[in-house]
Structure 1
Amino acid sequence: MMNLITRRLCLKPISVADIKKIHELHSLPETDEYNTLGIPKYLKETEQIVQKWLAQDDLIFKIELKEEKSFIGLVALKLGHAKYKKAEVWYKLDAKFWKNGYATEALKSVLDFGFNKLKLHRIEAGCAVENIGSIRVLEKVGMLREGRKRKVLPLKSGWSDNFEYAILETDFK
């Protein structure tokens, strides 16, 4: 897997060396609000999650600020069955870096990689209906809201509906 470089960011494949930073990201209450993973109690839990990610075909990148070389989050492309040429994206950013366009920039780069390098046909994403920031990111990159699943996300606040988003290779510019 390769690094993806944008104007302000460098997206690099995660490794076991990133476990501590990933644990810190997952431990933030703001990151956890719309996350079904839950806050890991111990570093060992995060280590098991990361080991599972590394064993799968998912492409999970750490997001770093290019100039500072500092970790600010994660973005992933979870590949589906090859016959359908589709994948699902997800991302998490440290709350200190919200509202700067970093999630949008990282996601555009991953979409570009998915469509232009991997030759995918369709890329999907899901998002809690209350997660306004994430909804904005998905819509800014050109993803279209295709539906709503009722009460499918077990969040701390209770069961949440989920918006389903997607973008096709023909939609991506």
Structure 2
Amino acid sequence: MNSFQLQNFEINPISERDGWRLCDFCCANENHLSRFFPSTLASNLNPTLSKLFVEKKVSEFIKHKEYLFTLKEPQNRKIIGLVYVKAIDLAKNEAELAYCIDYNQANKGYTTIAVETISKWALQLSNIYTLQILVHKTNIGSIRVAEKCGYLWKETLKKSFIPPNEEPLDMELYVLENER
């Protein structure tokens, strides 16, 4: 499995040792994650749930069904972010990229570096030619990350995401295609 050692953080495939760290990350960022990562948050509210979540994600990674990467501080191994390669559609040779960063680490460029790194990695897989990022128009930081990483706005997807206890939201679709 691929790991990426960068100057201020590292990117690693999810590991069975990540349960406690992931629980800590989700609990510390509950307000930050509750709207657009409700399933991840709900699956990591205590160490027992996190252990089950991590086991499932490790299995999905090995089976190439979904890839979850953690961003960690190298000195203390604390998780500071996540990048998913998910919704893999082999018939269309595409996947979705989703990402989040610890609120204390926002605006440091880590998310852009991680999205760029994992996008390049995913597009080297033999069965993925197109990556998509779905973002709400109010998430200016995420839009900037997508654009800095070469993703191009394609269209507005009407009522395509339903946050907890909210009406469906329109989401902006950004696409990155591999020239093969």
Instruction: Place the TM-score, normalised by the shorter chain, in its bin.
Output: 0.7 to 0.9
Equivalent residue number for residue 30 of structure 1: 32
Of structures 1 and 2, the one with the larger relative CO (CA 8 A, separation 6+) is 1
Shift of 1:46: 2.8
1:162 corresponds to which of 165, 171, 177: 171
Shift of 1:169: 1.2
After superposition, residues 111-126 of structure 1 pair within 5 angstroms as 111-115=119-123, 117-119=124-126, 120-126=128-134
CA contact (8 A) 2:12 2:70 kept: yes
More strand by share: 1
Pairing 1:101–2:109 present = yes
Distance 1:60 1:22 in 2: 12
Pairing 1:55–2:59 present = yes
Equivalent residue number for residue 145 of structure 1: 153
Identity %: 21
| Aligned partner of residue 155 in structure 1, secondary structure | coil
Distance 1:126 1:49 in 2: 23
Pairing 1:45–2:46 present = no
Equivalent residue number for residue 2 of structure 1: 2
| Aligned partner of residue 80 in structure 1, secondary structure | strand
Q: RMSD value over aligned CA atoms?
A: 2.4
Distance 1:34 1:78 in 2: 14
Shift of 1:139: 1.2
**CA distance 1:2–1:82, shift in 2 (3 Å):** same
Q: Give the number of aligned pairs.
A: 170
CA contact (8 A) 2:2 2:12 kept: yes
CA contact (8 A) 1:63 1:73 kept: yes
Equivalent residue number for residue 90 of structure 1: 98
85-94 or 102-111, larger mean C-alpha shift: 85-94
Q: Deviations over 1:88-137 (max 9, x none)?
A: 2111111000000000000110111122x324311111122322221111
Distance 1:69 1:44 in 2: 20
TM-score of the superposed pair, with normalisation by structure 1: 0.83
Unaligned 5+ segments in structure 1 are: none
Q: Deviations over 1:37-57 (max 9, x none)?
A: 274343333333322222222
